[in-house]
Structure 1
């Protein structure tokens, strides 16, 4: 019996990364089903979400931070709805700060997971083609500038990128500083948008909506063009 146990332990240690990756995938599937597909009507309805969050009283801020952390870790859940909800529930300033805290903590957690359990873990979560592309881009020019620009430009899947940063040769310090700074504008704009929804300020909503839509489209198309040009110049792409 002891020999069998030792054999299992040895085999288990050899496949530790794969076991952890599989467990994480199952966890994400569960989270995605329970908190997105099953309760998506809550996430997309600010009135219901506000009622649910504030029902926790003194712990409502903590609950909202945990929601942001879960959204970053389970990166396929759209974060914009929750960021907008932060402004709707707590106001633009406080909501933005709470969202920033939750998103930063979630990003650090993701970086730690990816950095410790490495490539097999990330390859099972994200297409290998995307991992390869982003890692090459991160090798172009100053990593600090590249990280900042990736997190600043709207339309780029920032939470998925966090996993890739964790398996790249980027220090935790640089990742923390430049990804956080890059996220700040979009987080507070989303929070401000949420506050204006609560105030029913239709004029501001239209103006912000148009501006953010334009920036989002430009980020998707022009952002990719800039990235490809950077790659071509370094003969990586």
Structure 2
């Protein structure tokens, strides 16, 4: 068996294992996917919070799975990050959300690079977020893309998958870049859902985040002007 054949065999086995796992969830919890879909599409954050929390200690695994699943198939994971701070507490919610985001994005990156390269090209052609694909071969650029709160992960993943970045470098950029983004997303979600208790902190966080990202944007523009 050639290395190429072995590689595709391993990938196929991995895909079949994932499909079997997803089917097993449907087997044991027939209403799991339909309930998650309904609550997410309806934007019922309170209902989503109550449903995930109803799994007790297993709620951590449910939350991580849903974040991984959302990132792997390229849909927003924000609703799950939003409720994590409320269900698990602010710091545990951030850690759980970060783990799910990093794992999900890595799976999506590998799937896009190995199986969905043509689809990734279409995503890039429709996007105006980034113009220079070659620059997406470095850790710093991908890290900056991941660090932007509420930015669509699928776009950055598509650019990364078509770049020449290694799997190791992408993981480093992904793991570090998602830290500030997840902190902001979980913290915002937590305080928005508890706005009567935390409106002052939410206001302060908003001002701080705008100031930091505004300063970074200004520094980037100044650097570009100095180079031109």
User: 2:79 aligns to what?
Assistant: 81
Instruction: Judge conservation of contact 1:92–1:188 (CA < 8 Å) in 2.
Output: no
Pair 1:153–1:191, CA change in 2 (3 A): closer
Cα distance in 2, alignment partners of residues 182 and 95 from structure 1: 17
Pair 1:121–1:174, CA change in 2 (3 A): same
Structure with more contact order per residue of length (Cα contacts < 8 Å, sep ≥ 6): 1
User: 2:89 aligns to what?
Assistant: 91
Pair 1:35–1:68, CA change in 2 (3 A): farther
Cα distance in 1, alignment partners of residues 148 and 40 from structure 2: 26
User: 2:39 aligns to what?
Assistant: 39
1:4-15 superposed matches below 5 A: none
Deviation readout 1:66-108 (Å, 9 max, x if unpaired): 111122123342x333222111211111111111111111111
Pair 1:41–1:76, CA change in 2 (3 A): closer
Instruction: Judge conservation of contact 2:150–2:181 (CA < 8 Å) in 1.
Output: no
Cα distance in 1, alignment partners of residues 121 and 158 from structure 2: 10
Q: Which runs of 5+ in 2 are unaligned?
A: 1-14, 16-33
Instruction: Judge conservation of contact 2:136–2:159 (CA < 8 Å) in 1.
Output: no
User: 1:5 aligns to what?
Assistant: none
User: 1:206 aligns to what?
Assistant: 203
Matched length = 192
Cα distance in 2, alignment partners of residues 213 and 67 from structure 1: 29
Give the Å deviation of 1:151. 1.6
Instruction: Judge conservation of contact 2:85–2:93 (CA < 8 Å) in 1.
Output: yes
Pair 1:134–1:180, CA change in 2 (3 A): farther
Q: Which runs of 5+ in 1 are unaligned?
A: 1-19, 21-33
Deviation readout 1:18-61 (Å, 9 max, x if unpaired): xx9xxxxxxxxxxxxx688743366x443222210011223211
Pair 1:161–1:134, CA change in 2 (3 A): farther
Q: Which shows bigger deviation, 156-165 or 103-112?
A: 156-165
User: 1:176 aligns to what?
Assistant: 171
Secondary structure of the equivalent of 1:94? helix
User: 1:53 aligns to what?
Assistant: 52
Pair 1:69–1:90, CA change in 2 (3 A): same
Cα distance in 2, alignment partners of residues 168 and 145 from structure 1: 13
Pair 1:155–1:90, CA change in 2 (3 A): closer
Pair 1:89–1:41, CA change in 2 (3 A): farther
RMSD over aligned Cα atoms = 3.6
